[in-house]
Chain A
């Protein structure tokens, strides 16, 4: 691709052609860029009828909050969802890629996807990149064999657990789970416990914040409760708004009118032989 003059859309996968230039810039003393991370508290637990996943909604770029309401619970299959922590681009790309692979697999086999299929696809990808694709995931779903909950680490190792937490707020959330989890929780008890664990991450961990997202997956049914709890509303909005006394000085203005989109309808009849 570096030799040809035409920029043809590539076949897929990573391309490394700017690495040499970027290394040269770093050697000259310029620091590498920081990526958008989801500092995060993500949790999952298995209750009586299925799996509940929870996540906070803060995305950070260094110490700055870049997104106050991002979505960390990603769709994998109608019966499988995955929460992602780590580098935001990596979690989004890896979950999108495995979601597409699962869909193609469903078309080929004619069956619903199983959670261990998603697990194996994810861990193979992450292991092959030796941890450089920095995605820490909590994968949960209900398939024909029952409810499953797994954690996947950036280097490719996995755990199968009844309750799990990941991310910078994982210790805060795990303390809530260890104290209050029991087997055979009902749906409402499970949601309450997950919300409490995420809130514990939001209030005690600086990398997590804003709202609580929850996803409840049971056999044949799922419920995505976006912004289930909003414990951090903005309370200081002034009703008057901002008014500017001094207007900005404009040097030049150029107005381009946009053409109305014209509908062309066929007039006349088609030619006949």
Chain B
């Protein structure tokens, strides 16, 4: 079994028109036993920047704490929030530093940059950035997610349609993966508000 299949996870982010959506499943397991159904994989860095981390749960939490620490230091020095592109470079550098003994997680970063332009990117566990203009996926359900997103994605969707698309893609993909599921957690961020929704999915 791969290290990434120890806890199970599914994270996906999509770009819409002046908005973005980031979604994850909620299961935390130890191989085939489920031990929590409300595990938070997506965390807010600041009002317009979110990071979802899939992979080994302990590294997810440790890496998140390190990144929040670095961002707070940045805020104190620069007196402003970090841009999503800068944050992605920071995460990439922190992951590559551990090139020969890496953090066993794959981040998905989503944020609104200047002029409210949405930015998404994902990385492998050693920080190879993959910028995309449409969607990015990560986790044990990633193969199904690639297929579902490829089929369901349309460019320039508004917030409500984007929410529906990303939720359908997430739920249909985790239904085909034993290690992720038990509902979904979706954040849709526009320049005016953050809408956080908990989805009802199959509980198996």
A→B interface (CB under 8 Å): 7, 9-10, 13-22, 25-26, 29-33, 35-36, 59, 61, 64, 66-67, 70, 87-90, 92-93, 132-133, 241-242, 244, 247-259
Contacts and interface: CB of A to CB of B under 8 A. Distances in A.
Interface of B: 1-4, 6, 47-48, 55, 66, 69-70, 73, 92, 95-104, 123-130, 132, 142-143, 146, 151-152, 154, 164-165, 167-168, 171, 183-184, 191-200
Contact of B2 (A15, A21, A33): A33
Contacts of A13: 97
Contacts of A92: 92, 128-129
30 contacts: A7-B66, A9-B70, A14-B97, A15-B97, A17-B98, A18-B98, A18-B101, A25-B104, A26-B3, A33-B102, A35-B128, A36-B130, A59-B128, A67-B130, A88-B128, A89-B95, A89-B96, A89-B124, A89-B126, A90-B126, A133-B99, A241-B154, A248-B164, A248-B171, A248-B199, A250-B197, A250-B198, A251-B198, A255-B195, A258-B47
Contacts of B152: 242
Contacts of A257: 192-193
A193 to B, nearest CB: 30
B199 A251 contact: yes
| 8 nearest A-B pairs in the assembled complex, by CB-CB distance | A19-B101, A88-B128, A89-B128, A18-B101, A36-B124, A249-B200, A248-B167, A89-B126
A56 B39 CA distance: 39
A30 B1 contact: yes
A90 B102 CA distance: 13
Contacts of A32: 3
Given A92-B92, A133-B99, 8 more contacts: A21-B101, A22-B104, A87-B126, A89-B95, A253-B195, A254-B195, A257-B192, A258-B191
**Which residue of B92, B97, B123, B152 has the most chain A CB atoms within 10 A of its CB atom?**
B97
B141 to A, nearest CB: 12
Contacts of B126: 35, 87, 89-90
**Which residue of A26, A59, A132, A255 has the most chain B CB atoms within 10 A of its CB atom?**
A255
Contacts of A256: 193-196
B132 A18 contact: no
A18 B128 contact: no
B52 to A, nearest CB: 16
A243 B32 CA distance: 34
Contacts of A66: 124, 130
Nearest to B146: A64
Contacts of A87: 126, 128
Given A7-B69, A244-B168, A255-B193, A33 B104 contact: yes
A251 B200 contact: yes
B109 to A, nearest CB: 15
Contacts of B55: 33
B40 to A, nearest CB: 13
Contact of B196 (A25, A248, A249, A254): A254
A252 B192 CA distance: 20
